[in-house]
Amino acid sequence: MTKKIAFQGENGAFSHAASANFFPGEEYLGCVTFEDTLNAVQSGKADYAVVPVENSLYGRITDIHHLLPLSGLHIIGETYLRIEMNLLGVRGSTLADVKAVQSLSVALGQCRKFISDHGFRTINAVDTAGSAREIAQKGDKSVAAIASRFAAETYGLDVIASNIEDAEHNTTRFLVLSPTEKLASNEGKVKTTFIFRVRNVPAALYKAMGGFATNGVNMTKLESYMVGGNFQATQFYADIEGHPDDPSVQLALEELNFFTDKFRILGVYPQAEPR
C-alpha cells in the first residue's frame, strides 16, 4: 500500500526532495506550516512526516524544537540533504536571457556572489519551490528561479547553472516522524533523541551531563529553549549515539534522571551519515 508523506512547503521544495530520498515512490503531501505538517500525521491524513531539524549554516530549526515534544509523534529515522542551489529558467532560456532572479530571501543570500557577478536584480519570494512554479507559469525567459534540481524536474524547467551557492557545505538534517513508536534494534549505529528538564539545584546540568562523559557516550547535540516563556523553565533537547539498551547508555541515563524532573525519549532510530 502506498504511504503518504507530509512535508512543509510546495512540491519541489527541499523537504519534498528529502521525503523522496527516505520514502522513494510514495505519495507526498505538501503543507503550509510545520504545524500543518505534524497535524497531517496526527489526524491520519499522512502516514509519516519529514521535517528539517538543523542546517549546517543556520543551526537549529527553532519551530521544530518547540513543536516536536508536544506533538506526540515519534522519531523513527533521519536523513541528510545537501542543499544545492540552481538557476532554473523556462525551457530554452540561457544565462544571457536572465535579468532577474526570484527565490526565498535565505536562498538569495546563499547565492550572493553568483548574483553579484552577473548583476541580476533580485525578487524576494515566499519559498524556493513556489518561485520555480511561478517562473514556469509566467514563461518569461528574463526571470529565473533559484531552487533545487528537484524543483526543476517538478515544474519542467531547465537548469541554467548548477551549484551556484557560495558555501559548499550547506546541508540540512531531517527527522522522520511517525504516530507510533518504532524503536530501532541495538545492532549497527543507532541514535537516541530525548528531552529533559533539570532540577532547580546548583550545577544540576553539569552533574546531569557527567554520566555521559564517564560512561563514554557521545552526545552529538544539546539544545536549550524556554518553556512557556518562563526564564526559569529551561528544557533541553539532546541526541546521543547509542541505544537505551546499551549498558553505557543505561548508566548515563540513570545518572541523568537523578538531576532531572522531566525526561522523555522522542526516538531511537538508525543513524544516517551526512552526504
Would you write out the chain's pLDDT as a tens digit for each of its 275 residues?
899 999 999 999 999 999 999 999 999 999 999 999 999 999 999 999 999 999 888 788 878 888 898 999 999 999 999 999 999 999 999 999 999 999 988 899 989 999 999 999 999 998 899 999 999 999 999 999 999 999 999 999 999 999 999 988 889 999 999 999 998 888 889 999 999 988 877 888 888 899 999 999 999 999 887 766 565 657 899 999 999 999 999 999 999 998 898 899 999 999 998 76
Cell numbers representing residue 151 in the block? 524543483
Q: Are residues 105 and 144 in the same domain?
A: yes
Domain of 117, in residue numbers: 86-161
Give the span between the Cα atoms of 86 and 61, in whole angstroms: 23
Q: Are residues 78 and 93 in the same domain?
A: no
Q: Are residues 174 and 201 in the same domain?
A: no
Q: Are residues 174 and 76 in the same domain?
A: yes
Give the span between the Cα atoms of 181 and 193, in whole angstroms: 13
CATH of the domain at 236: 3.30.70.260
CATH of the domain at 74: 3.40.190.10
Q: Which of 121, 147, 178 is the last residue of a domain?
A: 178
* Nearest to 129, CA basis, from 17, 10, 8: 10
- The answer to the question of residue 184 being in a domain is no
Q: Are residues 153 and 41 in the same domain?
A: no
Q: Are residues 237 and 259 in the same domain?
A: yes
Give the span between the Cα atoms of 121 and 73, in whole angstroms: 43
Q: Are residues 135 and 207 in the same domain?
A: no
Q: Which of 178, 207, 240 is the last residue of a domain?
A: 178
* Nearest to 272, CA basis, from 84, 83, 77, 15: 77
Q: Are residues 199 and 71 in the same domain?
A: no
Number of Cβ within a 10 Å radius of residue 24: 7
Angle between helical axes of 247-258 and 204-214 (0-180°, round to 10): 170
Q: Are residues 141 and 174 in the same domain?
A: no
Cα–Cα separations (whole angstroms), residue 16 to 4, 9, 217, 260: 12, 8, 33, 37
Catalytic residue ranges: 172, 174
* Nearest to 66, CA basis, from 253, 271, 235: 235
Q: Are residues 254 and 237 in the same domain?
A: yes
> What domain count does the chain have?
3
- The answer to the question of residue 34 being in a domain is yes
